[in-house]
Amino acid sequence: GYVNGVKVLGGGGLTCATSEMAAKGGTGVEIILDNLHVREEGMNPYELMLSESQERMLLAVNPEGLSKVLGVLEKYEIPYSIIGKVTDSGKLIVKFKDEIVASIPPKYLAEAPTIKRKAKKPLNLEKLWRIKKPKEPKNFSEILYKLVSTPNIACKEWVYQQYDHEVGVRTILKPGDSDAAVLRITETGKAIAVKADCNSRHSYLDPFNGGAGALAEASRNVVCVGAEPLAYTDCCNFGNPEKPEIFWQFKRGVEGLAYMSRKLGIPCVGGNVSFYNEDSESKIAVKPSLVVVILGLIENLDWITTMNLKNSGDQIVIVGKTYPELGGSEYYHEIHGLTGGKPPKADGNREKATLQTVMEAIRKGLVTAAHDCSKGGLAVALALMAIKGKLGVKVDLSKIPTSKPIRMDELLFSESHSRIILTTPTKEATKQILKIANKKGAPANLVGEVTDDDNFTLTFDGRKIVECSVTQMERFWKETIPKALEVG
């Protein structure tokens, strides 16, 4: 309780951090640059104030607790400097070698006028949205085998093995184990969940729903492991903002993030924007990439939930409604070679209802496994749960809550938001979850059961639509990345 303010030193270094903290607090600040610990000698005030060296934080500490704060820093061998103090001067005063080298009201730096750039919707978007739907394939089993082996969906274990994810000896759910990583908060009986999400195809086709959807998906992921979403940071990557079409993408993407943030009550506590990401010769920009990194809190370790199927006989429940939304999907891109169509709409009210339903169900001990539907849609989500659990499934697709009319490929592979698949241990648990969902306003239904075999079977009114081997799906899922990198 001794730290009254804290800010990361990012763009603009000490200049931005000190001016923004002072401006927001309505105070002045006096900085003595001679006290700053540096990596090399001879740096001038300009360099010291604008340096963007990484892994630095600026703290405003109550003098009564200074010794205790410094004790913590010394315990963890973190270098520090006491570089100044908060004042009532209303100015940012910077001193170097006993001279005042800068004196300015901090609000002049922190509250600079916003640059108003021209924003123009890209001319090709309407054409992309209106692409003709491809012909439905006849063999959905082969399609599913292909989808679980695509780079976006395939097992990333080879990547995770390249670093030590056990640093700190507090990892509970490791990378790839479930929808989010879970780390123990030592000596508290609590844990944190962390997840990063982005879908650049969705953001390219509709930056608003791409940004809103990234936050929605990240929220679902931490909820699926038993956490309540607390806050997030963003990383927005775009081309040249001086081009009206690029700036429109950025503007709409940030508006989408803000919309979902307000709807879910999850604050954005930091982030960065990276512009001018384009090829130096062709000037072709990257697809708009709105990355969300979210933090969730698990108050009780008993709430921690994984995605792998647990027991034969467990019932399978889906929360959320499936819409015909294949625009920007993995299915369109990998199976039909298409980048187009309208991407899924991110609806804050629907998302909130689903999140609240699943959080309550997990806290009441009604859930044995949870996994959100995203890339690849419902069929892929179920397949990954089966692969992880090494158990079969039998699901009646006619029981999935849907928007009518809907094609079979849309039902299987649509990437509609606000959907989470749960398994429950008993009929009574299922009944309670459906009751909770009804109370929260989330569509939900019992759609199938877990089986003690290798069969992954999806039917529709008794007709087999998908019939795959879980073992075969696992083989395809695991071999893609090592093969691509020519490993093993």
* Cα gap 225→362, rounded to integer Å: 9
* Beta pairing partners, 248: none
Q: What's the rounded mean pLDDT across residues 35-57?
A: 92
For the chain, the domains span 3-110, 125-484
- Does position 427 have pLDDT exceeding 90, yes or no? yes
Other CB atoms within 10 Å distance of the CB of residue 487: 9
What is the pTM for the complete model shown? 0.88
Q: What's the rounded mean pLDDT across residues 205-231?
A: 98
Token duo for residue 355 = 């999140």
Instruction: Report the topology of domain 125-484.
Output: 60s Ribosomal Protein L30; Chain: A; (3.30.1330)
User: Could you tell me where the DSSP H helices lie in 116-243?
Assistant: 125-129, 140-147, 157-160, 200-205, 207-224
* pLDDT tier at 488, thresholds 50, 70, 90: low
Q: What's the rounded mean pLDDT across residues 146-173?
A: 85
Instruction: Report the topology of domain 3-110.
Output: Phosphoribosyl-aminoimidazole Synthetase; Chain A, domain 2 (3.90.650)
Order of strands across the sheet that contains 84-87: 84-87, 28-32, 92-96, 99-104
Token duo for residue 393 = 């499934």
> Is-contact 45 104, C-beta < 8 A?
no
ω into 105 cis (within 30 of 0): no
- Does position 168 have pLDDT exceeding 70, yes or no? no
For the segment 313-333, what is each residue's pLDDT rounded down to a tens digit? 999 999 999 999 999 999 999
* Cα gap 207→256, rounded to integer Å: 7
Q: What's the rounded mean pLDDT across residues 26-46?
A: 94
Identify the pLDDT of residue 218. 98
* Cα gap 301→172, rounded to integer Å: 10
* Cα gap 54→24, rounded to integer Å: 23
- Does position 159 have pLDDT exceeding 90, yes or no? no
The Cβ-side half-sphere exposure at 213, using a 13 Å CA radius, reads: 29
| Ranges 122-131, 162-171, 285-294, 342-351: which has the least confidence | 162-171
Order of strands across the sheet that contains 455-460: 369-372, 420-424, 315-319, 444-451, 392-396, 455-460, 463-469
Tell me which H or E stretch contains 54. none
More confident residue, 210 or 272: 210
> Is-contact 180 261, C-beta < 8 A?
no
